Structure 1
Amino acid sequence: MNHKEKLLQVYKQATNAEDIQCEIPDNYKDFISKIANNCTRLKGVYTVLITLLVHKTLNPDQDIRFHQAQIGGFSGRNIDKQYITPTLQELGLPAMAESGWLTRSLEQPKPYTLDYPGKIGNKSVKEAFLNLIDWVQKNPDKAELALRILLGQVIQNTNFTKIKITKIENNARLNIKLIVDGLEEHFNFNYKTHGASKLPVLAFYAIYQILIEEVERYKLCTLKKLASHTASDLTSRSAGDIEVFDENNKLFEAVEIKQGKKIDIQIIRIVKEKIVKYHPQRYCIFSSSDIENSDAELIDIEISGIDKNHGCQIIINGTIPTLKYYLRLISSLDNFINKYSILIESDSELQIDHKIKWNEILSEHFGIYYGDQKIGD
């Protein structure tokens, strides 16, 4: 049995873990809950822990604290990349773009002992992570039980964020102003949770899904699947939030969304590095804020140099003005709303508040109904 098969086997049993709760001490159940409750925010930690638990069930004599071959252990990263992360993605559970070991705080060539020096952002999550590994290493027969409880709680948390968003058909009330007003409210609402910065990325992705079908410029182009919004571009090996490839599979256009950030010279210099590496014809930077006035002249000089030396046009514009313009280009506003709604509904990085709010906006702005009742009634 390989690691994927073992993970799937435990997954099938994970939603019913009441019979094994008493076999794990309360403090370690609390540690499991801490990891599960942070599985979307700290996906690297959760993914690495699942990899180690699966490996321990298959290899009970292996010291899973030694997670790299160079420190006398095994290659956890290769196991994760080949078996664990792809399986989590298939199951619709929170997952990294490639591997949890690409997280800097977890990739250090040091064993995961209780004094592991990696700077995991949340101290209580780090404590839970290292203590669970220590406990399972000392109690290898408990590895599968811990994995089953962890997966069960992650499934429960993931299902909690699944909100059905209705599809609209030929809604006569739709117009660009209504849509833009609704998007602005969705982007800028005062959420009490993290993750709202991904909303404009999803809106632009929905627009680009239509542009590549309808606009001559994008004929024969393909849209790359969205990477994790919490991963750095270095980790995800992407040139931006959105990437369009031509018929030869070469990067044609990249888009970066800077929600709430002014465009300064540092952003342009980072973009220049990506242009030199990936060679797009056009690089778009859309921001909800303005250009930093003190950097305006330097930005103009840098953009002109990039165009002259690398043949890439950099376009800077506001998020909402650009969406207004793109909405004028497409043939069906209903199509855009439905594509955006599908992305909102299926995205595992968004919180339940973001999804509920979009349902409310569909009702209040667009008059979309479930039968005789508006959504949210």
Structure 2
Amino acid sequence: MNHTDKLLEIYKLSYSLNDIKNVNKETIDFIKSIGEKINTQKGVFTVLITLITHKIMNPEQDVRKHQTSMSGGFSGRSIDSVHITPTLKKLGLPSMAESGWLTRSLEQPYPYNLDYNGKISNKVVKEAFLNILDFIEKNPTSATNLLRLLLAEAIASKNDAIVAIVPLKDAEKLTIENITKALDEHFRTKYSTHGGSKLPVLAFFAIYKSLIKEIGRYKDCTLAEMGSHTASDRTSKSAGDIEIFKEKNLFEAIEIKLDKAIDVTIVRIAIEKIARYNPDRYYILSYIGIKESDKSQITELINKLKLEHGCQIIINGLLPTIKYYLRLITSLDDFIMNYSNLIEKDTEIKKIHKEKWNELIEKHLK
């Protein structure tokens, strides 16, 4: 049995906790502290899941020694990347883009002892993280129940975020104007949590699902699955937020900025990605627009790239581009259905974003 199988086995036992008796109240409270911050401390959660799973399979291993460079250590990151993070994603539970060990505060080359100096941002979470691992080393037979308790917190978080998106009653009432109004309000609402910056990415993904079926330019093209919107450029292996492939080659990439103007730095980063991935077109779209003081430099960079590489960088506003694309697609109903489904199922979109979309459907689209 590998780590994937073991995690799935314990996951099935995590919906009921009535038989758990060998975990003290202090440790249960520490696990609840992790659960309360699970969506903002995904790295800590993922690393804990990895280490506890490994402890169950290897009771003699001190799992605080999470790197092979440590005496008696092992590679926690490898186990996470191959087994844990992919399984968490499959289960729809909080997870990092690739591995919890890509979080700088957790990748330090020191054991996770109680005096660990890694700068985990939340002090309560750091205390809980280190004390849970300390408890496991002192009580290795409790590892299975600890994993069940931790997974139960993740399941509760997942269930709390479930919001059914209301279906449209009359698709005939849909217009480009009222759809744009609804999207505009969905994007610009000030939410009390993170995740809102992914909303326009989902909107364009929904649009492209129609475009690749209907527009001749996209014949024989495929739409790549979206990666995590929280992945940094340091860890992301994609050319943009949305990628379209033709015959296994990158055809177009779209980079979307909600709350940041397009400046010369953003364009230079795009040019680096173009050199690496070689798309035919590269779109940079921003809700705010172009930084006025950078316009001339941006124009020079775009023109130079076109001459030297051949790729065309297209810069535009989010809403004007959405309006233009909505004119090209046959069914506005399909777009709304696709967007609603993406919002409902995406694990990075929070409950508040989903409830807001239901409110906007009632307000603008019915």
TM range, normalised to the smaller chain? over 0.9
Partner of 2:151: 151
| Alpha-carbon contact 1:206-1:339 (below 8 Å) kept | yes
Residues 1:283 and 2:309 are matched in the alignment? no
Residues 1:223 and 2:228 are matched in the alignment? no
Distance 1:138 1:318 in 2: 57
- Give every structure 1 segment of 4 or more consecutive aligned residues whose post-TM-superposition deviation is greater than 3 Å: 166-170
The letter for the 2-side match of 1:156 is A
Name structure 1 gaps, 5 residues minimum.
368-377
The C-alpha deviation readout for 1:248-276, integer Å capped at 9, x for no partner, is x1111111111111111111111111111
Distance 2:8 2:351 in 1: 26
| Alpha-carbon contact 2:97-2:230 (below 8 Å) kept | no
Partner of 1:55: 54
- Measure how far apart 1:18 and its partner are: 3.2
Distance 2:333 2:76 in 1: 46
Using the size of structure 1 for normalisation, the TM-score is 0.93
Distance 1:350 1:41 in 2: 12
Distance 2:189 2:114 in 1: 41
The C-alpha deviation readout for 1:113-163, integer Å capped at 9, x for no partner, is 223333333232222222211221222112111110010111011011011
Name structure 2 gaps, 5 residues minimum.
none
Distance 1:304 1:317 in 2: 16
The secondary structure found in structure 1 opposite 2:255 is strand
Partner of 2:251: 252
Distance 1:98 1:364 in 2: 38
Q: Report the CA distance shift for 1:364/1:170 in structure 2 as closer, same or farther (over 3 A).
A: closer
Distance 2:43 2:271 in 1: 28
Partner of 1:266: 265
| Most deviating of 8-17 and 91-100 | 91-100
The C-alpha deviation readout for 1:142-192, integer Å capped at 9, x for no partner, is 211111001011101101101111344761110000100000111112222
Give 1:152-231 correspondences, 5 Å limit: 152-168=152-168, 171-231=171-231
| Most deviating of 300-309 and 145-154 | 300-309
- Measure how far apart 1:61 and its partner are: 0.6
Partner of 1:42: 41
Distance 2:246 2:234 in 1: 22
Partner of 1:365: 364
Partner of 2:318: 319
Q: Percent identity?
A: 55
| Alpha-carbon contact 1:170-1:334 (below 8 Å) kept | no
The letter for the 2-side match of 1:179 is I
The letter for the 2-side match of 1:38 is K
| Alpha-carbon contact 1:97-1:228 (below 8 Å) kept | yes
The C-alpha deviation readout for 1:298-329, integer Å capped at 9, x for no partner, is 11111112222222111110010000000000
Distance 2:114 2:310 in 1: 51
Distance 1:325 1:10 in 2: 49
Q: Report the CA distance shift for 1:216/1:119 in structure 2 as closer, same or farther (over 3 A).
A: farther
Equivalenced residue count is 365
Partner of 2:78: 78
The letter for the 1-side match of 2:160 is F
Distance 1:259 1:18 in 2: 45
The secondary structure found in structure 1 opposite 2:116 is coil
Distance 1:154 1:311 in 2: 47
The secondary structure found in structure 1 opposite 2:119 is coil
The secondary structure found in structure 1 opposite 2:283 is strand
Residues 1:8 and 2:8 are matched in the alignment? yes
Distance 2:37 2:236 in 1: 20
- Measure how far apart 1:10 and its partner are: 1.1
Residues 1:31 and 2:21 are matched in the alignment? no
The secondary structure found in structure 1 opposite 2:254 is strand
The letter for the 2-side match of 1:159 is N
| Alpha-carbon contact 1:11-1:148 (below 8 Å) kept | yes
- Measure how far apart 1:106 and its partner are: 2.0
- Measure how far apart 1:98 and its partner are: 2.4
The secondary structure found in structure 1 opposite 2:231 is coil
Using the size of structure 2 for normalisation, the TM-score is 0.95
| Most deviating of 60-69 and 89-98 | 89-98
- Measure how far apart 1:194 and its partner are: 1.6
Partner of 1:374: none
Distance 1:135 1:358 in 2: 43
Distance 2:80 2:190 in 1: 36
